[in-house]
Amino acid sequence: MENPFNDNYFMKKALQEAEIAFEKGEIPVGAVIVVDNKIIARTHNLTELLHDVTAHAEMQAITSAANFLGGKYLKGCTLYVTLEPCQMCAGALYWSQITKIVFGARDEQRGFMTMGTQLHPKTEVVSGVLADEASDLMVRFFASKRK
């Protein structure tokens, strides 16, 4: 039997979080952090609600996972996030020493790859997982804001 816990499975969970953000009027980015096929953090952008430019989905997930684990390092953990992390989030992910980052859509303007930000040398990065779904959600969100 095929393992149901794969990158697509967990990215769908992150997309559910992004949908919640969309419904709240937040930029629809969702994130989950997984360890041993168990979700230990699930969140989405909260910058509008918290009036905090640092309240990105990734930052919220890092804090939640660290609290769950009782430590600041996320070794053995995987972050699934619907949009390529920005430079700020990549910096926090660097310091967390997270093992793996899986993201959906590229952020051609503000993503860490565009900005040339380095991650921890031991962090594995996988991009493009359910990228179309993540990208479509962003397009719908910004189209709704222009109406």
Catalytic residue set = 58
77 is in an annotated binding site: no
Q: What are phi and psi of 111, to 5 degrees?
A: -70, 155
Rounded-to-10 torsion of CA 80, 84, 88, 93: 30
Contact by Cβ (8 Å): 31, 61: yes
56 is in an annotated binding site: yes
Q: Which runs of consecutive H residues, i.e. helices, occur in 6-146? A: 7-23, 47-50, 57-69, 87-96, 112-115, 131-146
Binding residues for Zn(2+): 56, 86, 89
Please state the residue numbers annotated as binding site. 56, 86, 89
